[in-house]
Amino acid sequence: MKKQSFFPFVKSLILIMIIPIASFGQSGVKPVDSHDVFNHFNKLYQIDARLVNGDFYNTPSISKATGHPFFISSDWKNGSVSMEGVVFENLQLRYDISSGLIILNTAGFTNTAVQLVLKKDRIDYFTMDGNLFQAYPDDDPMTGIRFCQVLEEGAIDFVLIRSKNLKVTTTGRSDFAYQTKQSRIIRIGDELHPYLSRHSLIKLYPDLKPDLRLFLKENRLRFKKMSNNEHARFVKYCNSLIESSQ
């Protein structure tokens, strides 16, 4: 396929994607399969099928909702994805936490912007603006495979599980609002432990109790008021104690 034929194809693709719901009854309209999109892009740009392999993503309508379903913000973020051992870099990504989907913007390597959902079962890890995400051992009952943000790695890994859900509001400013929940987890090998208080670490490493308590005191860290980065520092210090004792 010659490159000149690319723009009519994309124009048709975009028109099909934005056809109003009222027109779904028309028999002459057929959606474009993502496999056809890959075949077209591949002929033009030699795109790796391991990367461009998912379905289209339609950004949720948030005009009546406060907030957004994405990690940090709705902006595209520079990142990378490791899929089946192959690392793809310099990608434009978004992470829809509410649905557990990682979205790729093809504008980074084509002449147009199409949003494609990456196949989660093929992803080893991905990064977004320097934040590392790895597959979490336990699936979400609603969205299936999910990813945890890794803030500290070592003998003890400190990871975060985030979720977002739409809730009905009572303020009148909007009909719905995205509410974020997060769970702090300690990962030791294949074992997962809730990280609920400083005793979560002390219980696992009672011999380190004096040093861990002194660290919190000297740094004036009150557990309930600590940020995620401060919790990561605390776990990192515990890792240094474990390493020095070996």
Query: Model confidence over 187-243: pLDDT tens digits?
Result: 999 899 999 988 899 999 999 999 999 999 999 999 888 999 999 999 999 999 999
CB hemisphere CA count around 86 (13 angstroms): 8
pLDDT in tens, 108-160: 666 667 788 888 888 999 999 999 999 888 888 777 888 999 999 999 999 99
Q: How many domains does the chain have?
A: 2
Are residue 97 and residue 131 in the same domain, yes or no?
yes
pLDDT in tens, 4-30: 444 444 444 443 343 333 333 333 334
Are residue 238 and residue 122 in the same domain, yes or no?
no
Structure tokens at 184: 């702090």
Are residue 62 and residue 82 in the same domain, yes or no?
yes
Query: How many Å apart are CA 112 and CA 106, to the nearest integer?
Result: 7
Last residue of a domain, one of 175, 195, 215: 195
Structure tokens at 32: 């474009």
Q: Which helix (H) or strand (E) holds 210?
A: helix 209-218
Are residue 115 and residue 225 in the same domain, yes or no?
no
Beta-bridged to residue 191, according to DSSP, are 188
Are residue 31 and residue 138 in the same domain, yes or no?
yes
Are residue 81 and residue 91 in the same domain, yes or no?
yes
Contact assessment for residue 103 and residue 118, using Cβ atoms and an 8 Å cutoff: yes
Contact assessment for residue 186 and residue 204, using Cβ atoms and an 8 Å cutoff: yes
Q: What is the pTM of this model?
A: 0.69
Q: If DSSP codes are grouped into helix, strand and coil, which group holds residue 245?
A: helix
Burial track 207-236 (b if 16+ CB lie within 10 A, e otherwise): ebeeebeebbeeeebeeeebeeeebbbbbe
Output the average pLDDT for the chain.
75
Query: How many Å apart are CA 179 and CA 162, to the nearest integer?
Result: 10
Instruction: Look up residue 71 and give its DSSP letter.
Output: S
The residue ranges of DSSP E strands in 139-225, in sequence order, are 147-152, 157-168, 176-188, 191-194
Residue 182 structural domain: 3-195
pLDDT at 104: 87
Are residue 172 and residue 223 in the same domain, yes or no?
no
Are residue 27 and residue 107 in the same domain, yes or no?
yes
Burial track 187-206 (b if 16+ CB lie within 10 A, e otherwise): beeeebeebeebebbbeebe
Q: If DSSP codes are grouped into helix, strand and coil, which group holds residue 63?
A: coil
Beta-bridged to residue 125, according to DSSP, are 82, 134
Are residue 182 and residue 212 in the same domain, yes or no?
no
Burial track 113-130 (b if 16+ CB lie within 10 A, e otherwise): ebbbbbbbeebeebbbee
Task: Give 167's pLDDT tier (boundaries 50, 70, 90).
Answer: low
